[in-house]
Structure 1
Amino acid sequence: MTAADLLGALREAGATLATAESCTGGLLAGALTEVAGASEVFGWGVVTYSNEAKADLLGVSRATLGAHGAVSEPVAREMARGARDRSGATLAAAVTGIAGPGGSGAKPEGRVCFAVSGPDGTRAETVEFGALGRGAVRAASVAHAMRMVADAL
């Protein structure tokens, strides 16, 4: 799915989208806004790279961050809900993970957690992309997030 395809699907559904990104650093919002007319359905995105930003800007619970860490489905869910609540968008997508290099046995490089929040609730999932390299993990994460939003429509 391309950004143009996703924006068209959002238009057709009469839906709007917000994003909350960590490891992708705004690449999802950037891909969407690269397409002319994106502002019809995309009005809001935030990069929350630090835990403090996740808590302060999106309302992610410090208890959730402490219990699960930033790279977790519970944090991705709270990021997506926070973005949706604060933006007023129909849907919000969140991405948080370890693009690399680095990681640990418990949270390896290439692990990315996603969530999409909408009127029917919030769905989260984790993808293990593996140690593909930072750029490849980030690009794969953007593509996966767009597919999740399309599926939520």
Structure 2
Amino acid sequence: MSAASTTEELLAELGTRGLTLAVAESLTGGLLTAELIRPAGASAVVLGGAVCYATELKRRLLGVDAELLERHGPVHPEVAGQMADRVRSALAVEGRAADIGLATTGVAGPEPQDGHPAGLAYLGVAIGDRVEAIELRLAGGRDAVRAGVVERAVVELAERLPR
């Protein structure tokens, strides 16, 4: 199945269930939100996306714990989880938080960052009370890593929807 059809199927399923989605991105820099709003009708599901590339924005706009960021930096599974959890309320519409939060953080490369290798990324997925971080290790150049994170984010979210 192609990434495009997976995105379309995911959005159709979320729409059928009446669920909304908010996205917080770091290393993908808006690519994930762009993929999620590509299909027609996405506005019924996707509330919006926040690109928080700078570490300070993760704290200030999303509410990621400052001590966590100080201790571990932005490339950490708990940071991804907090980004996904907290973007739901950060992008609330008419006082209603999104049902699902999806987040990306990591190192696209080409060089390592803060002791983390290029290609290391974390996805955060928040659905209801369940918040999960998924570690990814991707090969290739910067563009390939970023595209790979987007593709995996869509697949991982689809696999985690309650049946």
1:70 pairs with 2:74: yes
Q: CA deviation at 1:137?
A: 0.4
Note the residue ranges of structure 1 that are not aligned, 5 or more in a row.
none
Match of 2:144 among 112, 136, 140: 136
Deviation at 1:36, TM superposition (A): 1.2
SS in 1 for 2:126: strand
Secondary structure of residue in 2 paired with 1:58:
coil
Shift of 1:116: 0.4
Contiguous gaps of at least 5 residues in structure 2: none
Deviation at 1:70, TM superposition (A): 0.5
Matches within 5 A, 1:49-128: 49-86=53-90, 87=92, 88-103=97-112, 106-128=115-137
Q: Does 1:5 align with 2:5?
A: no
Identity of aligned residues (%): 41
Q: Which secondary structure does the structure 1 equivalent of 2:144 belong to?
A: helix
Matching residue of 1:151: 159
The size of the alignment, in residue pairs, is 152
Deviation, structure 1 residue 141: 0.2
Residue number in structure 2 paired with 1:19? 23
> After TM superposition, which residue ranges in structure 1, 4 or more long, deviate above 3 angstroms?
none
Question: Could you tell me how far 1:59 is from its partner in structure 2?
Answer: 0.3
Q: Is the 8 A contact 2:121 2:149 kept in 1?
A: yes
Kept in 1, the 8 Å contact 2:75–2:121? The answer is yes
Cα pair 1:84 1:118 within 8 Å, conserved: no
Q: Secondary structure at the match of 2:61?
A: helix
Q: CA RMSD in A?
A: 1.4
Q: Which amino acid in structure 2 is aligned with residue 75 of structure 1?
A: V
Question: Partners of 1:143 and 1:13 in 2: how far apart?
Answer: 22
Amino acid at match of 1:152: R
- Distance in 1 separating the partners of 2:104 and 2:114: 20
Quick check: 16-25 or 114-123, which moved more? 114-123
Contact preservation (8 Å) 2:109, 2:118: yes
Moved more, 1-10 or 109-118: 1-10
Equivalent residues of 2:107, 2:113 under 8 A apart: no
Shift of the alpha carbon at 1:13? 2.4
Preserved CA contact (<8 Å) 2:107 2:117: yes
TM-score, structure 1 length as denominator?
Answer: 0.94
